[in-house]
Protein backbone atom coordinates (compact mmCIF):
# COMPACT_ATOMS: atom_id res chain seq x y z
CA UNK A 1 0.00 0.00 0.00
CA UNK A 2 1.46 3.35 -1.07
CA UNK A 3 1.57 5.90 1.79
CA UNK A 4 -0.52 9.08 1.27
CA UNK A 5 1.39 11.86 -0.43
CA UNK A 6 3.16 14.25 1.98
CA UNK A 7 2.61 11.85 4.89
CA UNK A 8 5.48 11.16 7.24
CA UNK A 9 5.82 7.71 5.68
CA UNK A 10 5.97 9.08 2.13
CA UNK A 11 8.52 11.71 3.08
CA UNK A 12 10.56 9.04 4.87
CA UNK A 13 10.71 7.00 1.65
CA UNK A 14 11.73 10.10 -0.26
CA UNK A 15 14.46 11.39 2.05
CA UNK A 16 15.65 9.02 4.83
CA UNK A 17 18.47 6.46 4.66
CA UNK A 18 17.78 3.89 7.37
CA UNK A 19 20.31 1.74 9.22
CA UNK A 20 19.91 -2.04 8.88
CA UNK A 21 17.29 -1.79 6.13
CA UNK A 22 16.73 -3.36 2.69
CA UNK A 23 16.29 -0.10 0.85
CA UNK A 24 14.78 -1.53 -2.31
CA UNK A 25 12.13 -3.22 -0.22
CA UNK A 26 11.69 -0.06 1.87
CA UNK A 27 10.80 1.95 -1.24
CA UNK A 28 7.74 -0.30 -1.54
CA UNK A 29 6.76 -0.97 2.05
CA UNK A 30 7.75 2.26 3.80
CA UNK A 31 8.32 2.69 7.55
CA UNK A 32 6.42 1.99 10.71
CA UNK A 33 6.12 5.52 12.08
CA UNK A 34 6.21 5.70 15.89
CA UNK A 35 4.78 8.89 17.38
CA UNK A 36 4.92 8.50 21.15
CA UNK A 37 5.69 6.13 24.01
CA UNK A 38 4.33 5.30 27.44
CA UNK A 39 5.79 2.75 29.81
CA UNK A 40 6.71 -0.40 27.88
CA UNK A 41 4.56 0.63 24.91
CA UNK A 42 4.97 2.77 21.83
CA UNK A 43 2.22 4.09 19.56
CA UNK A 44 2.26 4.54 15.81
CA UNK A 45 0.89 7.47 13.81
CA UNK A 46 -2.52 5.76 13.68
CA UNK A 47 -2.68 5.44 17.47
CA UNK A 48 -2.09 1.67 17.59
CA UNK A 49 -0.12 0.45 20.61
CA UNK A 50 2.80 -2.00 20.54
CA UNK A 51 4.60 -3.63 23.44
CA UNK A 52 8.31 -3.04 22.83
CA UNK A 53 9.75 -6.48 23.49
CA UNK A 54 13.35 -5.39 22.82
CA UNK A 55 13.23 -1.94 24.52
CA UNK A 56 13.95 -0.31 21.17
CA UNK A 57 17.49 -1.49 20.54
CA UNK A 58 18.02 -3.19 23.93
CA UNK A 59 18.23 0.25 25.50
CA UNK A 60 15.00 1.90 26.74
CA UNK A 61 15.40 0.35 30.18
CA UNK A 62 13.06 2.76 32.00
CA UNK A 63 10.41 2.79 29.29
CA UNK A 64 9.34 5.65 27.09
CA UNK A 65 7.97 8.38 29.37
CA UNK A 66 10.16 8.89 32.43
CA UNK A 67 9.64 12.47 33.56
CA UNK A 68 12.65 12.52 35.89
CA UNK A 69 14.98 11.96 32.96
CA UNK A 70 13.27 14.71 30.98
CA UNK A 71 13.72 17.09 33.92
CA UNK A 72 17.36 16.11 34.35
CA UNK A 73 18.07 16.98 30.72
CA UNK A 74 16.07 20.21 30.86
CA UNK A 75 17.71 21.46 34.06
CA UNK A 76 21.20 20.68 32.78
CA UNK A 77 20.48 22.42 29.46
CA UNK A 78 19.50 25.54 31.36
CA UNK A 79 22.62 25.43 33.53
CA UNK A 80 25.35 24.32 31.10
CA UNK A 81 24.05 23.00 27.75
CA UNK A 82 27.47 22.07 26.44
CA UNK A 83 31.10 21.96 27.33
CA UNK A 84 33.96 19.75 26.23
CA UNK A 85 36.57 17.65 28.00
CA UNK A 86 39.57 18.42 25.77
CA UNK A 87 42.87 19.71 27.19
CA UNK A 88 41.93 19.04 30.80
CA UNK A 89 38.60 20.90 30.78
CA UNK A 90 35.89 19.43 32.98
CA UNK A 91 32.47 19.89 34.49
CA UNK A 92 30.57 18.39 37.38
CA UNK A 93 28.21 15.98 35.54
CA UNK A 94 31.10 14.24 33.78
CA UNK A 95 33.09 13.88 37.00
CA UNK A 96 30.08 12.71 39.02
CA UNK A 97 29.18 10.09 36.44
CA UNK A 98 32.75 8.82 36.14
CA UNK A 99 32.92 8.44 39.92
CA UNK A 100 29.59 6.60 40.02
CA UNK A 101 30.71 4.14 37.35
CA UNK A 102 34.04 3.43 39.03
CA UNK A 103 32.19 2.79 42.31
CA UNK A 104 29.82 0.35 40.59
CA UNK A 105 32.36 -1.44 38.38
CA UNK A 106 32.55 -5.25 38.64
CA UNK A 107 36.36 -5.18 38.88
CA UNK A 108 38.85 -2.51 40.04
CA UNK A 109 38.92 0.30 37.46
CA UNK A 110 40.95 3.49 37.30
CA UNK A 111 39.46 5.97 34.81
CA UNK A 112 36.43 6.52 32.57
CA UNK A 113 36.39 7.87 29.01
CA UNK A 114 33.05 8.97 27.55
CA UNK A 115 31.78 8.67 23.99
CA UNK A 116 28.37 8.77 22.34
CA UNK A 117 27.58 5.19 21.34
CA UNK A 118 28.71 1.64 21.89
CA UNK A 119 30.36 1.65 18.47
CA UNK A 120 32.40 4.76 19.31
CA UNK A 121 33.35 3.31 22.69
CA UNK A 122 34.53 0.01 21.22
CA UNK A 123 36.40 1.84 18.47
CA UNK A 124 38.07 3.90 21.21
CA UNK A 125 39.12 0.72 23.01
CA UNK A 126 40.87 -0.56 19.89
CA UNK A 127 42.82 2.70 19.67
CA UNK A 128 43.61 2.51 23.39
CA UNK A 129 44.99 -1.02 22.99
CA UNK A 130 47.22 -0.03 20.09
CA UNK A 131 48.32 3.19 21.78
CA UNK A 132 49.19 1.67 25.13
CA UNK A 133 51.17 -1.21 23.62
CA UNK A 134 53.18 1.23 21.52
CA UNK A 135 53.75 3.34 24.64
CA UNK A 136 55.01 0.44 26.76
CA UNK A 137 57.40 -0.83 24.08
CA UNK A 138 55.35 -3.71 22.67
CA UNK A 139 54.47 -2.39 19.19
CA UNK A 140 53.95 -5.88 17.80
CA UNK A 141 51.16 -6.65 20.33
CA UNK A 142 48.19 -5.38 18.28
CA UNK A 143 45.95 -8.25 17.15
CA UNK A 144 42.51 -8.57 18.71
CA UNK A 145 40.52 -11.79 18.98
CA UNK A 146 36.72 -11.71 19.09
CA UNK A 147 34.02 -14.25 18.23
CA UNK A 148 31.88 -15.22 15.28
CA UNK A 149 28.37 -13.79 15.81
CA UNK A 150 29.73 -11.29 18.34
CA UNK A 151 28.52 -7.72 17.94
CA UNK A 152 30.65 -4.72 18.92
CA UNK A 153 29.52 -1.92 16.62
CA UNK A 154 29.72 -0.63 13.08
CA UNK A 155 32.66 1.77 12.70
CA UNK A 156 35.42 0.37 10.49
CA UNK A 157 37.33 -0.94 13.49
CA UNK A 158 34.45 -1.99 15.73
CA UNK A 159 32.71 -3.69 12.78
CA UNK A 160 35.93 -5.64 12.30
CA UNK A 161 35.50 -6.91 15.87
CA UNK A 162 31.90 -7.79 15.06
CA UNK A 163 31.56 -11.31 13.71
CA UNK A 164 28.40 -11.03 11.61
CA UNK A 165 28.43 -11.35 7.80
CA UNK A 166 26.01 -8.48 7.15
CA UNK A 167 28.44 -6.11 8.86
CA UNK A 168 31.32 -7.25 6.63
CA UNK A 169 29.88 -7.96 3.18
CA UNK A 170 30.49 -5.17 0.62
CA UNK A 171 32.29 -3.09 3.30
CA UNK A 172 35.71 -4.74 2.72
CA UNK A 173 35.79 -5.87 6.34
CA UNK A 174 37.20 -7.10 8.64
CA UNK A 175 40.41 -5.09 8.61
CA UNK A 176 43.73 -6.93 9.08
CA UNK A 177 44.62 -7.86 12.63
CA UNK A 178 41.11 -8.90 13.72
CA UNK A 179 40.68 -12.63 14.33
CA UNK A 180 37.46 -14.52 15.08
CA UNK A 181 37.06 -17.74 17.04
CA UNK A 182 34.01 -19.96 17.40
CA UNK A 183 30.60 -18.90 18.69
CA UNK A 184 30.03 -20.43 22.15
CA UNK A 185 26.57 -21.83 21.36
CA UNK A 186 26.06 -25.29 22.79
CA UNK A 187 22.80 -25.86 20.86
CA UNK A 188 24.53 -25.69 17.47
CA UNK A 189 28.23 -26.06 18.26
CA UNK A 190 28.51 -28.98 20.67
CA UNK A 191 29.30 -32.49 19.53
CA UNK A 192 26.66 -35.18 20.17
CA UNK A 193 26.59 -35.94 23.89
CA UNK A 194 29.14 -33.22 24.72
CA UNK A 195 28.40 -31.49 28.02
CA UNK A 196 28.49 -27.72 28.41
CA UNK A 197 31.66 -28.01 30.50
CA UNK A 198 33.43 -30.20 27.93
CA UNK A 199 32.31 -27.90 25.13
CA UNK A 200 33.69 -24.91 27.06
CA UNK A 201 37.00 -26.73 27.46
CA UNK A 202 37.16 -27.32 23.71
CA UNK A 203 36.42 -23.64 22.98
CA UNK A 204 39.14 -22.52 25.41
CA UNK A 205 41.58 -24.91 23.73
CA UNK A 206 40.64 -23.47 20.34
CA UNK A 207 41.31 -19.96 21.64
CA UNK A 208 44.68 -20.99 23.00
CA UNK A 209 45.59 -22.69 19.72
CA UNK A 210 44.79 -19.48 17.82
CA UNK A 211 46.89 -17.42 20.24
CA UNK A 212 49.83 -19.80 19.85
CA UNK A 213 49.43 -19.82 16.07
CA UNK A 214 49.48 -16.03 15.90
CA UNK A 215 52.12 -15.67 18.61
CA UNK A 216 51.10 -14.43 22.09
CA UNK A 217 53.51 -11.51 21.70
CA UNK A 218 51.31 -10.22 18.82
CA UNK A 219 47.91 -10.52 20.54
CA UNK A 220 46.73 -7.48 22.50
CA UNK A 221 43.29 -8.50 23.69
CA UNK A 222 40.32 -10.83 23.63
CA UNK A 223 36.94 -9.11 23.16
CA UNK A 224 33.59 -10.55 24.24
CA UNK A 225 30.04 -9.75 25.32
CA UNK A 226 28.95 -11.55 28.50
CA UNK A 227 26.11 -12.95 26.39
CA UNK A 228 25.91 -12.39 22.65
CA UNK A 229 23.17 -9.90 21.84
CA UNK A 230 22.66 -9.22 18.13
CA UNK A 231 24.17 -12.62 17.35
CA UNK A 232 21.02 -14.21 18.76
CA UNK A 233 21.04 -13.88 22.57
CA UNK A 234 23.57 -16.69 22.96
CA UNK A 235 24.27 -17.65 26.56
CA UNK A 236 27.80 -19.02 27.16
CA UNK A 237 28.14 -22.65 28.23
CA UNK A 238 28.93 -23.37 31.86
CA UNK A 239 32.59 -22.67 32.85
CA UNK A 240 33.31 -20.96 29.49
CA UNK A 241 34.56 -17.63 30.80
CA UNK A 242 36.54 -19.18 33.65
CA UNK A 243 38.45 -21.31 31.14
CA UNK A 244 38.88 -18.47 28.65
CA UNK A 245 40.26 -16.16 31.33
CA UNK A 246 42.81 -18.78 32.39
CA UNK A 247 44.09 -18.86 28.79
CA UNK A 248 44.31 -15.07 28.63
CA UNK A 249 46.24 -14.85 31.90
CA UNK A 250 48.74 -17.46 30.72
CA UNK A 251 49.59 -15.37 27.68
CA UNK A 252 49.33 -11.83 29.14
CA UNK A 253 46.36 -10.87 26.97
CA UNK A 254 43.90 -8.21 28.11
CA UNK A 255 40.20 -9.01 28.42
CA UNK A 256 37.86 -6.35 26.98
CA UNK A 257 34.24 -6.89 28.00
CA UNK A 258 31.46 -5.32 25.96
CA UNK A 259 28.63 -4.63 28.45
CA UNK A 260 26.72 -2.36 26.06
CA UNK A 261 23.66 -4.62 26.24
CA UNK A 262 24.42 -6.71 29.32
CA UNK A 263 25.17 -3.90 31.76
CA UNK A 264 22.70 -2.37 34.23
CA UNK A 265 20.77 -5.41 35.48
CA UNK A 266 19.82 -7.05 32.19
CA UNK A 267 21.18 -10.45 33.28
CA UNK A 268 19.95 -10.24 36.88
CA UNK A 269 23.10 -8.57 38.22
CA UNK A 270 24.38 -5.02 37.87
CA UNK A 271 26.80 -6.27 35.21
CA UNK A 272 26.87 -9.30 32.97
CA UNK A 273 30.45 -9.71 34.16
CA UNK A 274 29.10 -10.55 37.62
CA UNK A 275 26.63 -13.07 36.21
CA UNK A 276 29.36 -14.94 34.32
CA UNK A 277 32.33 -14.46 36.70
CA UNK A 278 34.32 -12.17 34.41
CA UNK A 279 37.14 -9.87 35.53
CA UNK A 280 37.51 -7.26 32.76
CA UNK A 281 40.61 -5.15 32.15
CA UNK A 282 38.50 -2.79 30.05
CA UNK A 283 34.71 -2.51 30.25
CA UNK A 284 32.42 -0.75 27.76
CA UNK A 285 28.87 0.31 28.56
CA UNK A 286 26.15 2.37 26.86
CA UNK A 287 22.41 1.92 26.11
CA UNK A 288 20.86 1.52 29.60
CA UNK A 289 23.50 3.89 30.99
CA UNK A 290 21.07 6.71 30.15
CA UNK A 291 18.02 4.47 29.62
CA UNK A 292 18.50 5.57 25.95
CA UNK A 293 17.15 9.05 26.67
CA UNK A 294 20.40 10.65 25.53
CA UNK A 295 23.36 9.26 23.54
CA UNK A 296 26.25 8.35 25.83
CA UNK A 297 28.72 5.50 26.30
CA UNK A 298 31.64 4.88 28.60
CA UNK A 299 34.96 3.03 28.55
CA UNK A 300 36.29 1.97 31.96
CA UNK A 301 40.00 1.09 32.06
CA UNK A 302 42.03 -0.43 34.85
CA UNK A 303 45.21 1.09 36.27
CA UNK A 304 47.51 -0.94 34.03
CA UNK A 305 45.79 0.34 30.90
CA UNK A 306 45.64 3.89 32.21
CA UNK A 307 49.37 3.91 32.94
CA UNK A 308 50.02 2.95 29.33
CA UNK A 309 47.85 5.85 28.14
CA UNK A 310 49.56 8.23 30.56
CA UNK A 311 53.03 7.16 29.42
CA UNK A 312 52.13 7.61 25.77
CA UNK A 313 50.53 11.00 26.29
CA UNK A 314 53.62 12.19 28.15
CA UNK A 315 55.83 11.10 25.26
CA UNK A 316 53.64 12.60 22.52
CA UNK A 317 52.47 15.60 24.53
CA UNK A 318 48.80 14.64 24.39
CA UNK A 319 46.46 11.67 24.11
CA UNK A 320 45.20 12.49 20.63
CA UNK A 321 41.79 10.92 20.92
CA UNK A 322 38.34 12.20 21.83
CA UNK A 323 35.03 13.44 20.44
CA UNK A 324 33.38 16.85 20.47
CA UNK A 325 30.65 15.43 22.68
CA UNK A 326 32.79 13.22 24.96
CA UNK A 327 31.34 13.66 28.44
CA UNK A 328 28.67 16.08 27.18
CA UNK A 329 27.00 17.51 30.31
CA UNK A 330 23.40 16.83 29.25
CA UNK A 331 23.72 13.09 28.55
CA UNK A 332 25.94 12.82 31.64
CA UNK A 333 23.25 14.44 33.79
CA UNK A 334 20.61 12.08 32.36
CA UNK A 335 22.87 9.09 33.02
CA UNK A 336 23.42 10.21 36.62
CA UNK A 337 19.68 10.43 37.13
CA UNK A 338 19.22 7.02 35.50
CA UNK A 339 21.65 5.39 37.93
CA UNK A 340 19.90 7.12 40.84
CA UNK A 341 16.52 5.80 39.66
CA UNK A 342 17.92 2.27 39.42
CA UNK A 343 19.13 2.55 43.02
CA UNK A 344 15.88 4.03 44.34
CA UNK A 345 13.72 1.45 42.52
CA UNK A 346 15.94 -1.41 43.70
CA UNK A 347 16.06 -2.48 40.07
CA UNK A 348 18.18 -5.49 40.96
CA UNK A 349 15.39 -7.01 43.05
CA UNK A 350 12.78 -6.20 40.42
CA UNK A 351 14.71 -7.89 37.60
CA UNK A 352 15.44 -10.90 39.80
CA UNK A 353 11.66 -11.20 40.26
CA UNK A 354 10.34 -10.61 36.74
CA UNK A 355 13.30 -12.11 34.87
CA UNK A 356 12.76 -15.70 36.05
CA UNK A 357 9.04 -15.23 35.40
CA UNK A 358 9.70 -14.25 31.77
CA UNK A 359 12.12 -17.16 31.33
CA UNK A 360 9.61 -19.64 32.75
CA UNK A 361 6.73 -18.31 30.66
CA UNK A 362 8.76 -18.40 27.45
CA UNK A 363 9.60 -22.05 28.04
CA UNK A 364 6.12 -23.03 29.19
CA UNK A 365 4.43 -21.41 26.22
CA UNK A 366 6.88 -21.97 23.38
CA UNK A 367 9.42 -24.75 24.06
CA UNK A 368 7.10 -27.37 22.53
CA UNK A 369 5.89 -25.19 19.65
CA UNK A 370 6.65 -26.96 16.35
CA UNK A 371 8.58 -23.94 15.03
CA UNK A 372 10.74 -23.36 18.13
CA UNK A 373 14.06 -25.17 18.35
CA UNK A 374 15.52 -23.51 21.43
CA UNK A 375 14.36 -21.12 24.14
CA UNK A 376 17.36 -19.51 25.85
CA UNK A 377 18.05 -16.59 28.11
CA UNK A 378 19.07 -15.25 31.48
CA UNK A 379 17.58 -12.49 33.63
CA UNK A 380 15.44 -10.25 31.48
CA UNK A 381 16.90 -11.18 28.10
CA UNK A 382 15.97 -14.20 25.99
CA UNK A 383 15.50 -15.61 22.51
CA UNK A 384 13.29 -18.03 20.63
CA UNK A 385 15.13 -19.71 17.76
CA UNK A 386 12.85 -20.85 14.94
CA UNK A 387 13.87 -24.03 13.13
CA UNK A 388 12.66 -26.07 10.18
CA UNK A 389 13.33 -29.35 12.00
CA UNK A 390 13.41 -29.60 15.79
CA UNK A 391 15.06 -33.03 15.91
CA UNK A 392 18.13 -31.97 13.94
CA UNK A 393 18.12 -28.28 14.95
CA UNK A 394 18.06 -27.46 11.24
CA UNK A 395 17.47 -23.78 10.54
CA UNK A 396 15.22 -22.42 7.82
CA UNK A 397 16.71 -21.27 4.54
CA UNK A 398 17.50 -17.56 5.16
CA UNK A 399 15.85 -16.76 1.83
CA UNK A 400 12.50 -17.74 3.34
CA UNK A 401 12.84 -14.80 5.79
CA UNK A 402 10.97 -16.70 8.49
CA UNK A 403 12.17 -14.52 11.38
CA UNK A 404 11.40 -11.23 9.61
CA UNK A 405 7.96 -12.57 8.73
CA UNK A 406 7.28 -13.26 12.38
CA UNK A 407 8.20 -9.67 13.25
CA UNK A 408 5.62 -8.46 10.74
CA UNK A 409 2.95 -10.70 12.24
CA UNK A 410 4.07 -9.37 15.62
CA UNK A 411 3.41 -5.81 14.50
CA UNK A 412 -0.03 -6.89 13.34
CA UNK A 413 -0.74 -8.26 16.81
CA UNK A 414 0.79 -5.32 18.67
CA UNK A 415 4.28 -6.42 19.68
CA UNK A 416 7.56 -5.18 18.26
CA UNK A 417 10.17 -7.93 18.01
CA UNK A 418 13.62 -8.25 16.48
CA UNK A 419 14.71 -11.06 14.15
CA UNK A 420 18.40 -11.92 14.32
CA UNK A 421 20.79 -14.61 13.11
CA UNK A 422 19.22 -18.05 12.44
CA UNK A 423 15.71 -16.63 12.80
CA UNK A 424 16.29 -16.00 16.50
CA UNK A 425 13.74 -13.63 18.02
CA UNK A 426 15.17 -11.55 20.83
CA UNK A 427 13.43 -10.39 24.00
CA UNK A 428 14.90 -7.59 26.06
CA UNK A 429 11.94 -5.55 27.29
CA UNK A 430 12.24 -2.39 29.38
CA UNK A 431 13.47 -3.32 32.85
CA UNK A 432 10.34 -1.78 34.36
CA UNK A 433 8.08 -4.41 32.78
CA UNK A 434 5.66 -6.20 35.13
CA UNK A 435 4.55 -9.82 35.18
CA UNK A 436 1.14 -8.91 33.74
CA UNK A 437 2.82 -6.99 30.93
CA UNK A 438 5.06 -10.00 30.25
CA UNK A 439 1.91 -12.11 29.95
CA UNK A 440 0.35 -9.66 27.52
CA UNK A 441 3.56 -9.42 25.50
CA UNK A 442 3.81 -13.20 25.19
CA UNK A 443 0.10 -13.53 24.37
CA UNK A 444 0.71 -11.27 21.39
CA UNK A 445 3.85 -13.18 20.41
CA UNK A 446 1.91 -16.45 20.58
CA UNK A 447 -0.77 -15.17 18.22
CA UNK A 448 1.90 -14.00 15.79
CA UNK A 449 3.75 -17.32 15.99
CA UNK A 450 0.58 -19.33 15.35
CA UNK A 451 -0.25 -17.18 12.33
CA UNK A 452 3.25 -17.70 10.97
CA UNK A 453 2.88 -21.47 11.40
CA UNK A 454 -0.32 -21.43 9.34
CA UNK A 455 1.37 -19.44 6.59
CA UNK A 456 4.40 -21.76 6.45
CA UNK A 457 2.17 -24.84 6.22
CA UNK A 458 0.17 -23.20 3.44
CA UNK A 459 3.41 -22.61 1.54
CA UNK A 460 4.59 -26.18 2.27
CA UNK A 461 7.66 -24.79 4.03
CA UNK A 462 6.76 -26.87 7.09
CA UNK A 463 4.78 -30.15 7.22
CA UNK A 464 0.99 -30.01 7.49
d(CA 194, CA 196): 7
d(CA 283, CA 264): 13
d(CA 106, CA 20): 32
Residue ranges of the chain that CATH labels 3.90.1150.10: 32-65+346-458
Cα-based torsion angle of the residue sequence 61, 65, 69, 74 in order, rounded to the nearest 10 degrees: 150
Per-residue pLDDT of the chain (464 residues; tens, 9 = 90+): 677 778 999 999 999 999 999 999 999 999 999 999 999 999 999 999 999 999 999 999 999 999 999 999 999 999 999 999 999 999 999 999 999 999 999 999 999 999 999 999 999 999 999 999 999 999 999 999 999 999 999 999 999 999 999 999 999 999 999 999 999 999 999 999 999 999 999 999 999 999 999 999 999 999 999 999 999 999 999 999 999 999 999 999 999 999 999 999 999 999 999 999 999 999 999 999 999 999 999 999 999 999 999 999 999 999 999 999 999 999 999 999 999 999 999 999 999 999 999 999 999 999 999 999 999 999 999 999 999 999 999 999 999 999 999 999 999 999 999 999 999 999 999 999 999 999 999 999 999 999 999 999 999 877 64
Residue ranges of the chain that CATH labels 3.40.640.10: 68-344
pLDDT of residue 3: 74
SS3 452: helix
SS (H, E, C) 352-393: HHHHHHHHHHHHHHHCCCCCEEEEEEECCEEEEEECCECCCC
Distant-in-sequence, close-in-space partners of 47: CB < 8 Å, separation ≥ 6: none
pLDDT of residue 359: 98
pLDDT of residue 115: 98
Q: Are 427 and 379 in contact (CB under 8 A)?
A: no
Q: Which CATH architecture has domain 32-65+346-458?
A: Alpha-Beta Complex (3.90)
Report the length, in residues, of the chain: 464
pLDDT of residue 49: 98
pLDDT of residue 170: 97
Return the CA Rg of the chain: 22
pLDDT of residue 463: 64
d(CA 143, CA 180): 11
Q: Are 384 and 425 in contact (CB under 8 A)?
A: yes
Q: Are 285 and 260 in contact (CB under 8 A)?
A: yes
H-only helix segments in 37-183:
55-58, 67-79, 92-104, 118-135, 156-161
Q: What pTM, to 2 d.p., does this model score?
A: 0.96
Q: Which long-range contacts (CB under 8 A, 24 or more apart) does 172-181 make?
A: 177/142, 177/143, 177/144, 178/143, 178/144, 178/146, 179/143, 179/144, 179/145, 179/146, 179/210, 179/214, 180/145, 180/146, 180/147, 180/148, 180/150, 181/145, 181/146, 181/147, 181/148, 181/206, 181/207, 181/210
When the candidates are 3.90.220.20, 3.40.640.10, 3.10.20.440, 1.20.120.1200, the CATH number that belongs to 68-344 is 3.40.640.10
d(CA 47, CA 348): 33
H-only helix segments in 402-463:
402-412, 435-458
pLDDT of residue 4: 74
pLDDT of residue 1: 63
d(CA 297, CA 113): 8
Amino acid sequence: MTPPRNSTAARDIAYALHPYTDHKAHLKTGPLVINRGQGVRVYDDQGKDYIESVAGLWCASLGFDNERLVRAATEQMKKLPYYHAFTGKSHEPMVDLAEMLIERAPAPMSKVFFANSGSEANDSVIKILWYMHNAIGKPEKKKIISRLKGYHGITLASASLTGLPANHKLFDLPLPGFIHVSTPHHYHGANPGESEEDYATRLAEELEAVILREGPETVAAFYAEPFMGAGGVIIPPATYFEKVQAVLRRHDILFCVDEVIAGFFRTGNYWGSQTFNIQPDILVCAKALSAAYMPISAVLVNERVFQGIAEGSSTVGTWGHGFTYSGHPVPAAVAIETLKIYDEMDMLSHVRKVGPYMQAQLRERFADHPLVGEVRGVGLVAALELVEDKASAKNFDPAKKVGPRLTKFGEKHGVIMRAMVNDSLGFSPPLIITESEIDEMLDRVGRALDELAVELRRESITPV
